[in-house]
């Protein structure tokens, strides 16, 4: 495992990393930082929680010239919360520099007029971090000059595309120099995103970090069958039994998040609610209250899974499997950070078995538990499922064998019907055998 001190970084960056006890590189940092320092353009596919923020901010800050009063790097994020997080990480590192490095954040909800006045007074920042809309607004006013940019980073590119910001990113990039280092970070690389990448990037290096083990070892993942019970009641039991320092409860829709939040409030819990239905002002106020520990429980939609980092989150409850399975990793990744143990409970039904199997193939391990007499106890549902899967696998193997054998034979009239009868006969035989075993 490589160490940060082995990298050719300026001393102030080494000091900043030491201050937050960063010693060893994560896989994405080990792949990205050396190539980023060499000026290589990169497309990086990596999940949230893999350490990618430092993988691009460290090389950017290492190459900033504090004496040059011009924009040298631009980083975009699809949400204000994400931009705020990136800004805080950059500031933590930049503060260790002997010569001041001008890092600014441009996001909606901040004083645009004041930002324009500073820029028009020839106070160009050296590192720009912000949301695409606000950055482009300042560019459109001929106040923010990105023509001198050397490095352009698009963070959470798939989320940027989903929120409809890709056209604005296109406008921003078109005003930057042709000789430009571009780094794109994304959990997934949809085909629509590839069109943008091909337009601006020539022979980029593609780095794909394997999702195996992407869930931190400090997280314990549990599955609970609802068995027709009220999910909100189960969540209430988990919250009051586990006594988490801070818990995130995830729902798939704004409506369901409001329902769960209302239920928990009626049970006497002080609950914050975060979803896309809040105004920017409301979201900012609620986030400030959460960080000030005014709330112990937060009900959220997937907007929060990738857009919010709440220190001290010790429990995550998935009220339902997310529609997009990648969000499961983003949700659960909110806990188990900074070497602090976390626990994640996911409420499921038999219909979710296929999704669970898909997540297991990504390297995520689960244990089946249930609430028995106000205690969390392990149950045998997992073993039963494993047996069902083994039986199904054996049946599939036999059927595939029949198909292959028939394929090798010379095709005769009616062979499809004959094959179908063979398969149906096999299934009936299996059913009779299973009935005898019972």
Residue 375: pLDDT above 50? yes
Tell me, yes or no, whether 410 lies in a domain: no
Residue 35: pLDDT above 90? yes
Residue 110: pLDDT above 80? yes
Mean pLDDT along residues 320-327? 82
Contacts for 70 with CB less than 8 Å, ≥ 6 apart: 124, 126, 145, 148
Query: Which domain range does residue 346 map to?
Result: 219-382
Residue 43: pLDDT above 70? yes
- Which of 208, 235, 267 is the last residue before a domain boundary? 208
The Cα 8–Cα 34 span in angstroms is 9
Same domain, yes or no: 204 and 331: no
- Which of 208, 230, 249 is the last residue before a domain boundary? 208
**Would you state the pLDDT for residue 123?**
86
The domain that holds 332 is classified in CATH as 3.40.50.300
Please provide the average confidence, as pLDDT, over all residues in the chain: 83
Residue 429: pLDDT above 70? no
**Would you state the pLDDT for residue 421?**
58
Tell me, yes or no, whether 418 lies in a domain: no
Tell me, yes or no, whether 389 lies in a domain: no
Residue 391: pLDDT above 50? no
Confidence of residue 407 (pLDDT cuts 50, 70, 90): very low
- Which of 143, 175, 208 is the last residue before a domain boundary? 208
Same domain, yes or no: 147 and 17: yes
Structural domain tally of the chain? 2
**Would you state the pLDDT for residue 405?**
47
**Would you state the pLDDT for residue 243?**
76
Residue 303: pLDDT above 80? no
**Would you state the pLDDT for residue 426?**
57
Share of the chain above pLDDT 90, in %: 46
Same domain, yes or no: 227 and 339: yes
**Would you state the pLDDT for residue 160?**
87
> Nearest to residue 63, comparing CAs of 120, 10, 140?
10
Describe the crossing of helices 80-94 and 52-63 by its angle, rounded to 10 degrees: 50
| Model pLDDT for residues 235-275, shown as the tens digit of each residue | 999 999 877 888 999 999 889 999 999 999 999 999 999 88
Mean pLDDT along residues 61-84? 94
User: Which helix (DSSP H) or strand (DSSP E) does residue 271 occupy?
Assistant: strand 271-274
**Would you state the pLDDT for residue 260?**
96
**Would you state the pLDDT for residue 417?**
53
Tell me, yes or no, whether 176 lies in a domain: yes
Tell me, yes or no, whether 24 lies in a domain: yes
Same domain, yes or no: 337 and 272: yes
Same domain, yes or no: 86 and 127: yes
Among 1-10, 60-69, 206-215, the range scoring the smallest mean pLDDT is 206-215
Same domain, yes or no: 144 and 231: no
**Would you state the pLDDT for residue 307?**
59
The Cα 35–Cα 29 span in angstroms is 10
Q: Check residues 284 and 167 and name the one with the higher pLDDT.
A: 167
Among 43-47, 417-421, 425-429, the range scoring the smallest mean pLDDT is 417-421
The Cα 182–Cα 332 span in angstroms is 30
Long-range CB pairs of 28-31 (<8 Å, 24+ gap) are: 28/52, 28/55, 28/207, 28/209, 29/54, 29/55, 29/58, 30/2, 31/55, 31/207, 31/209
Same domain, yes or no: 164 and 232: no
434: buried, middle or exposed (CB in 10 Å: 19+, 13-18, 0-12)?
exposed
**Would you state the pLDDT for residue 265?**
95
> Nearest to residue 45, comparing CAs of 208, 213, 190?
208
Mean pLDDT along residues 297-302? 89
Residue 192: pLDDT above 50? yes
The Cα 165–Cα 121 span in angstroms is 29
Tell me, yes or no, whether 378 lies in a domain: yes
Cβ proximity of 138 and 117 under 8 Å: no
Query: Checking phi first, is residue 330 left (phi over 0); if not, alpha (psi -120 to 50) or beta?
Result: alpha
Residue 76: pLDDT above 90? yes
Same domain, yes or no: 119 and 265: no
């Amino acid at each position: 495992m490589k160490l940060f001190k082995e990298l050719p970084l300026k001393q102030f960056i080494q000091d900043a990393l030491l201050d937050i006890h960063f010693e060893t590189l994560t896989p994405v940092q080990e792949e990205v930082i050396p190539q980023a320092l060499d000026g290589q353009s990169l497309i990086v596919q990596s999940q949230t929680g893999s350490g990618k923020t430092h993988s691009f901010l460290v090389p950017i800050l290492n190459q900033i010239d504090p004496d040059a009063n011009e924009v040298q790097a631009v980083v975009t994020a699809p949400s204000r919360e994400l931009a705020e997080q990136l800004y805080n990480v950059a500031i933590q590192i930049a503060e260790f520099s002997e010569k001041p490095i001008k890092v600014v954040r441009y996001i909606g909800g901040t004083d645009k007029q004041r930002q324009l006045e500073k820029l028009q007074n020839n106070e160009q920042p050296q590192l720009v971090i912000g949301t695409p809309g606000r950055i482009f607004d300042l560019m459109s006013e001929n106040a923010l000059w990105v023509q001198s940019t050397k490095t352009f980073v698009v963070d959470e590119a798939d989320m940027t595309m989903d929120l409809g910001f890709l056209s604005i990113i296109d406008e921003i990039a078109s005003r930057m120099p042709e000789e430009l280092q571009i780094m794109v970070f994304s959990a997934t690389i949809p085909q629509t995103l590839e069109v943008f990448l091909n337009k601006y990037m020539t022979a980029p290096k593609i780095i794909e970090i394997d999702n195996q083990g992407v869930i931190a070892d400090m997280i314990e993942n549990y599955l609970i069958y609802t068995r027709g019970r009220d999910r909100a009641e189960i969540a209430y039991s988990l919250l009051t039994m586990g006594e988490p320092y801070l818990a995130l409860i995830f729902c798939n829709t704004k409506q369901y998040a409001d329902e769960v939040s209302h239920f928990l409030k009626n049970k006497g819990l002080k609950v914050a609610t975060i979803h896309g239905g809040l105004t920017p002002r409301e979201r900012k106020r609620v986030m400030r209250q959460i960080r000030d520990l005014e709330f112990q429980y937060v009900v959220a939609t997937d907007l929060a899974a990738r857009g919010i980092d709440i220190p001290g989150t010790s429990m995550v409850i998935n009220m339902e499997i997310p529609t997009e399975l990648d969000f499961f990793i983003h949700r659960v990744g909110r806990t188990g950070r900074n070497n602090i143990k976390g626990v994640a409970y996911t409420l499921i039904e038999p219909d979710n078995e296929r999704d669970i199997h898909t997540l297991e193939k990504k390297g995520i391990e689960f244990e089946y538990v249930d609430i028995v007499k106000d205690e969390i106890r392990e149950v045998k549902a997992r073993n039963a499922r494993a047996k069902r899967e083994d039986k199904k696998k054996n049946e599939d193997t036999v059927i595939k064998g029949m198909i292959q054998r028939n394929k090798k034979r010379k095709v005769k009239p009616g062979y499809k019907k004959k094959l179908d009868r063979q398969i149906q006969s096999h299934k009936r035989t299996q059913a009779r055998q299973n009935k005898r075993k019972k």
